[in-house]
Structure 1
Amino acid sequence: MKKYVLASFMVLGSLAINAQDDGSKSTALKVGDVIEIGHPSTSKYKHIKFPRANFIIKRNGVADYKKALGEEVVITDVEKIDNGETRISVKRKDGRRFFNTVSNVSISLEKALEANEIKI
Structure 2
Amino acid sequence: MRHLLLAGWIVAWAVLAWLSWTPTALPGGVSDKTVHFVVYLLMSGITFSFARSHAMLALIALTTFALSAVLEFGQSFFPYRQFDYGDLLANGGGAATGWLLASLILLVAARPARRPRVSARSS
Greater relative contact order, per chain length (Cα 8 Å cut-off, separation 6+) = 2
- Specify which structure has the higher proportion of helix: 2
Give the number of the structure whose alpha-carbon radius of gyration is greater.
1
TM-score by length of 2: 0.26
- Specify which structure has the higher proportion of strand: 1
